């Protein structure tokens, strides 16, 4: 278990505190997505129903700000950041290559694969930055943006939380399954928060059968919503997205995973440098990797930095600190 966690938290560290913040923010965020189903209004406090969506639209960006601040507070080194920026740009650049029906699908495919390789924390942040950068490039900033950002962040994070041990064909199958699920889930969530806005909720003179009724039983609203989403988007957009996800992961998945893993290996994320003594004699004797040690080092395995460090015999030589903490905190003593 600790091996798996170590591997997934490699690029953007996800400590217990970050995980806690992330969990609460996700809970609050989820509430803001599914509020139409949760609203229970007393007849006399009817005015709170209509206000809720606007309050939530204002609060959701704040939630995202806090989570992102927490994730980068734990320390994000230049490598992770450059990777983040460049992959966000790739997501934006690959959009025109999509099937042409709906723009967003290719973003998900790379998001899922990157989340899988670089871990949950990175997936979460990549989901946010990809959508944000893409919105800036297309001048598409609006109240929908925080919702898009948060749901794609969840998609990236979820991909990072999938079981690590699965490899090979099973891994691709798992990712394809995940891709299909998130394609529909994304459409569902995005429809849900916007549903009352588009069909009209708070207007008392109208009682359409697919529109939202504040305070109605959950199941009733859910059924109305299901019909709405089925009629408007499930057949077209969501299924299109699911098909693109499936096809892209099946065809490109293995190669892209290999490419990303190679990049992770080359960037040696999480591998801390080691130092020997200045004296030539001790340098020879403390030299850790020759012969039998070499294969161990070639493998960029989880917890490997620890292995190397432990083998660098003398503890007093570890000026750079213990391998598990983020880099930033290691140097605080010096700065």
Partner 1 sequence: MRATYFLPRDLHPAAWWLWALGLAVAASRTTNPWLLLTIIAVAGYVVAARRGAAPWALAFRMYLYLAGCIVCLRVFFRLVFGGAEGTTILLRLPEIPLPAWAAGIRLFGAVSAESLLGGLYDGLRLAAVVVCLGAANALANPKRLLKAMPPALYEMGTAVVVALSVFPQLAESVLRVRRARKLRGGANHRRLRALHAIVIPVLEDALDRSLRLAASMDSRGYGRAALVRPRQRVATGVLMVLGLIGVCVGGYATLDGSTPRLLAGPVLVLGVVVGLLGFHLAGRRVQRTRYRPDRWRPPEVVVVLSGVGVAVTLFATSTVDPTNLNPSLLTLSWPALSWPPLVGVLLGVLPAWLSPPPAPPHAGAGHDAEEVSA
Partner 2 sequence: MIELRQVTFWYHGQPEPVLSDVNLSIGEGELVLVAGRTGAGKSTLLGTVNGLVPHFTGGHLDGAVAVAGVLTRSRPPREFAHLVGVVGQDPLAGFVTDTVEEELAYGMEQLGLPPQVMRRRVEETLDLLGIADLRRRALRGLSGGQQQRVAIGSVLTTHPRVLVLDEPTSALDPTAAEDVLATLARLVQDLGTTVLMAEHRMERVVPFADRVVYVAGGGRVVDGSPSAMLRDMPVAPPIVELGRLAGWEPLPLSVRDARRLAAGLRADLGAPPPRPVPTGETLLTSSDVVVRYGATVAVRGVDLDLHAGTVLALMGRNGSGKSSLLWALQGSGPRQGGTVRVGGVDPGQRSSAQARTLVGLVPQTASDLLYLETVADECAAADAESGAATGTCRTLLDRLAPGIDPARHPRDLSEGQRLALVLAVQLAAAPRVVLLDEPTRGLDYTAKHALAGMIRTLTGEGRAVVVATHDVEFVAAVADRVVVMAEGEVVSDGPTAEVLGGSPAFAPQVAKVLGADWLTVEDVRTALAEVAR
Ranges within 20-59 binding partner 1 (CB under 8 A):
20-21, 24-25, 27-28, 31-32, 35, 38-42, 45, 48, 51-52, 54-56, 59
Environment class of 63 (CB within 10 Å of its CB; exposed 0-12, middle 13-18, buried 19+): buried
Environment class of 217 (CB within 10 Å of its CB; exposed 0-12, middle 13-18, buried 19+): exposed
Contact 172, 159 (CB under 8 A): no
Site mask for partner 1 (CB under 8 A), range 141-170, x = bound: xxx---------------------------
Question: What are the tokens at 19?
Answer: 């995980």
Of 87, 105, 85, 108, the residue nearest 96 (C-alpha): 105
Q: What is the DSSP string of 224-248?
A: HHHHHHIIIIIIIIIHHHHHHHHHH
Q: Does 298 bind partner 2 (CB under 8 A)?
A: yes
Q: Cβ of residue 255: shortest distance to partner 2, in angstroms?
A: 7
Q: How far apart are CA 309 and CA 154, in angstroms?
A: 34
Nearer to partner 2, 163 or 295 (CB): 295
Of 97, 154, 105, 145, the residue nearest 126 (C-alpha): 154
Site mask for partner 2 (CB under 8 A), range 78-97, x = bound: xx------------------
Q: Does 17 bind partner 1 (CB under 8 A)?
A: yes
Nearer to partner 1, 184 or 194 (CB): 194
Site mask for partner 2 (CB under 8 A), range 299-328, x = bound: x--------x---x------xx------x-
Q: How far apart are CA 30 and CA 20, in angstroms?
A: 15
From partner 1, partner 2, none, interface partner of 215 (C-beta below 5 to 8 A by class): partner 1
Question: What are the tokens at 111?
Answer: 């998001």
Q: Does 252 bind partner 1 (CB under 8 A)?
A: yes
Q: Would you call 31 helix, strand, or coil by DSSP?
A: helix
Nearer to partner 2, 69 or 298 (CB): 298
Q: Does 128 bind partner 1 (CB under 8 A)?
A: yes
Site mask for partner 1 (CB under 8 A), range 96-115, x = bound: xx------------------
Helices (H), 138-167: 144-161
Q: Does 331 bind partner 2 (CB under 8 A)?
A: yes
Residues 251-270 that bind partner 2 (CB under 8 A): 255, 258, 262, 268
Residues 268-297 that bind partner 2 (CB under 8 A): 268, 271-280, 283, 286-291, 294-295, 297
Q: How far apart are CA 295 and CA 302, in angstroms?
A: 14
Instruction: Write the DSSP symbol of residue 292.
Output: G
**How many CB atoms are closer than 10 A to CB 98?**
18
φ/ψ (deg, to 5) at 14 = -125, 85
Query: Which of 3, 62, 177, 217 is close enough to bind partner 1 by CB under 8 A?
Result: 62
Site mask for partner 1 (CB under 8 A), range 174-213, x = bound: -----------------------xxxx--x-xxxxxxx--
Q: What are the residues binding partner 2 (CB under 8 A)?
A: 78-79, 255, 258, 262, 268, 271-280, 283, 286-291, 294-295, 297-299, 308, 312, 319-320, 327, 331, 334-335
């Amino acid at each position: 278990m600790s091996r798996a966690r170590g591997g997934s938290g490699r690029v953007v560290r996800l400590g217990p505190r970050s995980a806690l913040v992330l969990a609460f923010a996700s809970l609050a965020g989820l509430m803001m997505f599914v509020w139409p189903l949760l609203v229970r209004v007393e007849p006399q406090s009817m005015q709170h129903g209509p206000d809720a969506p606007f309050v939530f639209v204002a609060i959701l960006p704040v939630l995202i700000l806090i989570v992102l601040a927490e994730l980068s507070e734990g320390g994000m080194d230049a490598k992770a950041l450059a990777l983040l920026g460049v992959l966000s740009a790739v997501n934006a650049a690959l959009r025109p290559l999509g099937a042409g029906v709906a723009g967003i699908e290719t973003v998900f495919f790379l998001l899922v694969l990157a989340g899988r390789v670089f871990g949950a924390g990175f997936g979460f942040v990549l989901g946010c930055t990809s959508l944000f950068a893409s919105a800036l490039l297309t001048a598409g900033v609006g109240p929908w943006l925080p919702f898009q950002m948060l749901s794609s962040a969840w998609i990236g994070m979820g991909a990072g939380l999938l079981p690590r041990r699965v490899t090979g064909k099973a891994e691709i199958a798992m990712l394809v399954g995940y891709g299909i699920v998130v394609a529909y889930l994304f459409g569902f969530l995005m429809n849900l928060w916007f549903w009352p806005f588009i069909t009209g909720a708070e207007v008392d003179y109208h009682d359409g059968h697919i529109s939202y009724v504040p305070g109605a039983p959950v199941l009733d609203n859910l059924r109305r919503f299901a019909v709405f989403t089925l009629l408007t988007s499930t057949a077209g957009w969501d299924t299109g997205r699911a098909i693109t996800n499936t096809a892209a992961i099946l065809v490109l998945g293995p190669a892209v995973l290999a490419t990303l893993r190679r990049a992770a290996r080359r960037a040696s994320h999480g591998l801390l440098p080691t130092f020997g003594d200045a004296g030539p004699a001790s340098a020879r004797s403390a030299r850790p990797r020759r012969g039998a040690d070499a294969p161990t080092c070639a493998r960029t395995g989880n917890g490997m930095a620890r292995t190397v460090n432990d083998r660098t015999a003398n503890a007093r030589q570890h000026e750079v600190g213990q391998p598990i903490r983020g880099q930033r905190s290691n140097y605080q003593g010096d700065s």
